[in-house]
Amino acid sequence: MDRVTMADGAGGVSTQRLIDSLFAKYLGNDYLSQMEDATRVPGGAELALTTDSFVVTPIEFPGGNIGRLSVCGTVNDVLMSGAKPRYLTAGWILEEGLALSVLESCVRAMAETAKEAGVFVVAGDTKVIENRSGKEPGIMINTAGCGVFDEKHRPVSADLVKEGDVILLSGNLGDHHAALLGKRMGIENDIVSDNAPLSQMVEALEQAGVALHEMRDVTRGGLATVLNEFAESTGKTFVLSEEALPVSPAVRSFAGILGLDPLYMGNEGKMVCIVDAKDGDRALQILQGSRYGENAAAIGTVTKAEGGRPGVVLATKVGGRRILGPLYGEGLPRIC
């Protein structure tokens, strides 16, 4: 049988076979192989916990698949708290009729990405449901992540952000969003998703002792929405330079055709961080020297809220000022 059946989720021999032949094979480690109802792991004084569900269609897209994505999203969320990610759990929901070859490539991608990110998948679950949509059978994955704080890995927080801080962006905007949309629309181009774990670059910043004040990965809602959250939580104004914003030419033209704004497009392997001005240049060099950080840029500074109203302002190329609000609705393409 080369497809997932309802029996594979029934908890019996078939389920065990699926676990052994795929999940344990690729994801196995000393923790997972305890095979108990819950896994015992070494912890730390203070932990960071997060969870995220992945329901992306298509499940395989240029530059990645849902297995890789489900690690990146959760690992990056743990990283952004300042903690060092250690463990993941993975709940897989498979639709009946899913090709095992597709499942295998997603499990393998999860394993490879977890290894790259330096985390162990320590617990998991598999369920099979009927294919209710009548379309290609899909996969949904929930991952939970656990990280630990220690001397080198300290919490970031909005309270640390002050006027004069530098805003750094780790790379080009909009790649994941454009890759997914392009695939759904059947458009041929070179755009690939940027889905990636940011462990290496964050670790490098932390090891170098950079004064990191706040971090956030740039996902749904895009950079403008993330910075609006920062404006709200810090009470400051974030001023960006349009000239400095990194966007690849392919994504720029794709977004232009659809009337999308890269400032509101999602990524899955980019972060924005707020660092002390004294560390700005050094932090930028570290980012640019890190894996996935070659297009990193200093994109703006934190200033006092004008008239007591915090917000996000873009200094445009022609010298204009544009106030960037958060994303409303679904970021739908406009009409003409």
Partner 1 sequence: MTRRDEILDFLGHYDGPEVRIMEVCGTHTAQIVRTGIPSLLSPKIHLISGPGCPVCVTVTDYIDRLVELSLAPGSTVYAFGDLLRVRGSRYSLSEAKSLGGQVRMVYAPADLLMYAEREPDVCHIFAAVGFETTVPVYADLIQEAKRRGLANVKLLTSLKTMPGIVRWLCRENEKAAPDKKVTGFLAPGHVCAAAGYRDYEPIAEAFQLPFIVAGFSADLLLAAIYGLVREQGRGVVRNFYPQAVTRDGNPAVRAAVQEMFSPCDAAWRGFGTVPGTGLCLRPAFASFDAGSEGLTRDHVAGGCRCADVLMGRISSRECPLFGKICTPENPQGACMVSQEGSCFNHFQEGVPY
**Binding site residues, partner 1, CB under 8 A:** 185, 258-259, 261, 311, 314-325, 328-330, 332-336
> For the chain, how big is the Rg over CA atoms in Å?
21
* Least spacing, CB of residue 178 vs partner 1, in Å: 13
Question: 301-313 burial, b if ≥16 CB within 10 A, otherwise e?
Answer: bbeebeeeebbbb
For residue 137, cis peptide bond before it (omega within 30 degrees of 0):
no
Output 197 or 311, the one with its CB closest to partner 1. 311
Nearer to partner 1, 208 or 323 (CB): 323
d(C-alpha 191, C-alpha 44), whole Å: 40
Pick between residue 255 and residue 283 the one whose CB is nearest to partner 1.
255
Type of residue numbered 326: P
Closest approach, Cβ 299 to partner 1, in A, equals 16
Q: Are strands 60-61 and 64-65 parallel, antiparallel or unpaired?
A: antiparallel
- Smallest gap from Cβ 58 to partner 1, in A, equals 16
Q: 3-state class of 17 per DSSP? A: helix
196 Cβ neighbours under 8 A, 6+ residues apart? 72, 268, 269, 291, 292
333 close to 266: Cβ distance less than 8 angstroms: no
Q: How far is the CB of 295 from partner 1 (least distance, A)?
A: 22
Nearer to partner 1, 308 or 320 (CB): 320
Minimum gap (Å) between residue 57 Cβ and partner 1: 14
Q: Are 302 and 213 in contact (CB under 8 A)?
A: no
Query: CA geometry: angle at 260 spanning 259 and 261, to 5°?
Result: 120
Residue nearer to partner 1 on the CB measure, 10 or 187: 187
Kindly tell me the burial class for residue 45, based on how many C-beta atoms sit within 10 Å of its own C-beta (0-12, 13-18, 19 or more): exposed
CB count in 10 Å sphere of residue 13: 9
Q: Mention every residue, 6+ apart, whose C-beta is less than 8 A from residue 248.
A: 172, 175, 191
Handedness of CA 21, 24, 28, 30 (dihedral sign): negative
Nearest distance in Å: CB 184, partner 1: 9
User: Of 111 and 239, which has the nearer Cβ to partner 1?
Assistant: 239
**Amino acid identity for residue 257 in this structure:** I
The number of CA neighbours under 13 Å toward the Cβ of 266 is 17
| Residue 262 C-beta: closest distance to partner 1, Å | 11
Looking at beta carbons only, is 285 or 316 nearer to partner 1? 316
**Minimum CB distance to partner 1, residue 309 (Å):** 9
Rounded to 5 degrees, what are φ and ψ at 204?
Answer: -65, -40
Shortest reach from residue 285's CB to partner 1, in Å: 31
